[in-house]
Amino acid sequence: MKVILKEDIKNLGKKGDIVEVKDGYGRNYLLRKGLAYLATKEAILRLEQQKEAQRRKMEKKIKEAEDLAKKLQNEVLEFKLKVNPKGEPYGSVTRTKIFKELLKRNYPLKKSQILLERPLKEFKEYEVKIKLEKDVVSQIKVKVLKG
């Protein structure tokens, strides 16, 4: 019996896979529990159409992310930190500050996309990575200045 899995099943396959199973296992467990449905010609055609639509949607998302990455590469953010009498900065530039500044410039990002290991505390220029999609990463320049 051929069935199409509705979800990942250990040692059998992933969601959307067409697998061959014994009739009893398919009828009495997979179909009854709603974990799979019969792999008819119509069901296979519908599955292929869904996969194609999903692939096109993902291609569009990646293209948009690549376009945004190109725009972000030209961005330079400047942050001024106050200085104590010893010349050391008060505070630091955090992921939140960078995120808010990018929002002001109308970039549709999430704070979690900004890859900053620790706050920026030294007066210099940094390269900060921004992960837009799985394989699309951009960089912006962040300058920490004495203010």
Has residue 67 got a pLDDT over 90? yes
What three-state secondary structure class fits 34?
Answer: coil
Distance CA 86, CA 52 (A): 62
Domains of the chain: 2-61 (3.40.5.10), 67-146 (3.10.430.100)
* DSSP state for residue 120 in the 8-state scheme: B
Has residue 88 got a pLDDT over 90? no
Per-residue pLDDT tens over the stretch 91-104: 899 999 999 999 99
Q: What's the pTM?
A: 0.71
pLDDT at 80: 92
